[in-house]
Amino acid sequence: MDQTTVIEPFLGQVRAAGAALDALHIVALGVFTLLVQAGFATLDTGLVRSKNVAHTTAMVLLASCAGLVGFWSVGFGLQNGFHGFFFDPSKVGVAVVVVFLSRTGLAVVSTTIPAGAAAERSRLTSTVFLSFILAALIFPTYSQWVWGGGWLSRLHLGHGVVDCSGSGVVHMTGGMVALVSARMLGPRLGKYTLRGDVRPIPAHNMPMVVLGTLLLSAGWVGLATTSCTRHAGSMVAALAVNALLASAAGALWAFAHTRLRFGKPDLSMICNGLLAGLVAISAAGGFVGGGSAIVIGAGASLLTLEGALFIERRLRIDDPVGAGAVHGISGAWGLLAVGIFANGRAGDGWNGFAGPVRGLLAGSGGQLLASVIGIAANVLWVVPSSAVVLWIIGRLVSGRVVADDEVAGLDVPELGMTGYVSEAVHAGATRGGDLGHGKMSASRTSVTG
């Protein structure tokens, strides 16, 4: 019996195990993508008023679906230089399918971010159009520049623009679109007084906000690390640990910061601080140590909290969920963090450049300059392109609802239903003209049956 005959069963088991791992990888990417969307839906819905909960949930759901279709039909090919449209998994190998699913999950995150900023006054049709075009054109163009071998990845400054899991590509892109959308829609009615003072509009359900934050965090950590398995295992492990550290530091900083600034801690800002830490560490997570991750998370929280107040009070942009600050500002800080804190222990060969990724503290100013160029390119591409798209959408379908519907709540005008149904709604007169007191059991039977 030759060696080939002896070893063939073992090789078959290895191939079967590899195929099983590929299948598990694919399933995990899909699950984490859906988990992130569940987090967005729960978080954004908790932050709005009860009269708009069904509408806000529908915005997030439709934004994710339109973004998925937009990226599948156009964006993936544009991002990776493929010819033609409509990605067909039956014509490519498993490795390409894994790349498609990982990039799709990241694209859908980017398209869902602006939905929260436009909540409580945007039409659902406008959300669908914007999400489709964002995933089909705006996101994949910048993504190709950074991840697809484009000009930002080839800068001869450090290793070019380095963004491990999407601080800039995913979050800053979505955050910039969110700010443009909120600006062009205008503030919610009653947000600002005639004198220009800010009138707080509190969240209607804080447990939903916290649950949404945790769902979104769990989904993002899974999606970010699963999408990075093409890199060294040590880098993926560092990203996972540093993501937890940065998010914890962001939440704790927000707790202390709001307590000192306002006299009492603000729970919604604590949640935003946690998410800001996750956003910021996504670019640098595989290139820094734990101490740097904590500094990055705390810094992101500080910038997000003060940035949100500046956006609301100085720029007079009404962003109900703080998407512009959490994703836009923290995303930019995440790119800068690579150029500052990368410790030179990982990233050899990244973007085709020899040697590990080194930031300013490790003796390389070029990496920081590359990050600055990446931030500038994002703003100069995303802001005007999204403004043009929103202007066209506004002319075609009218981006904002009418004032009467906004005041009454958008659940019924846009969806024909309410998000919360009180039993009192069903306590009206029966067909027989009475209130049903004498026929309670019959009434209940007819309703439930």
Provide the number of structural domains found in the chain.
1
Task: Name the residue type at position 407.
Answer: V
Q: Can you spell out the DSSP letters for 10-37?
A: HHHHHHHHHHHHHHHHHHHHHHHHHHHH
- Domain membership of residue 161 (yes or no) is yes
Q: Is residue 430 part of a domain?
A: no
Tell whether 309 is covered by a domain.
yes
Predicted pLDDT of residue 434 = 43
CATH number at residue 120: 1.10.3430.10
Residue 195: the pLDDT is: 87
The shares of helix, strand and coil residues in the chain, as percent rounded to the nearest 5, are 70, 0, 25
Q: Is residue 361 a part of any domain in this protein? A: yes
Residue ranges in the chain whose pLDDT is less than 70: 1-23, 25, 82-84, 229-233, 422-449
In a domain, 447, yes or no: no
Q: Give a yes or no: residue 429 inside a domain.
A: no
What pLDDT is attached to residue 86? Answer: 86
pLDDT of residue 343: 94
Amino acid at 362: A
Residue 334 lies inside a defined structural domain of this protein: yes
Mapped onto helix, strand or coil, the DSSP state of residue 171 is: helix
Contact 305, 274 (CB under 8 A): no
**Residue 431: inside a domain:** no
Q: Which own/partner contact pairs does 422-426 have at CB distance under 8 Å and 24+ positions apart? A: none
Tell me if 300 sits within 8 A of 136, measured CB to CB: no
C-beta neighbour count of 27 within 10 angstroms? 11
pLDDT number for residue 21: 56
pLDDT of residue 421: 83
CA distances from 439 to 357, 369, 427, 428 (A): 76, 76, 12, 13
Boundaries of domain holding 212 = 3-407
Query: Which of 223, 217, 285, 278 has its CA nearest to residue 98?
Result: 223
Contact assessment for residue 266 and residue 210, using Cβ atoms and an 8 Å cutoff: no
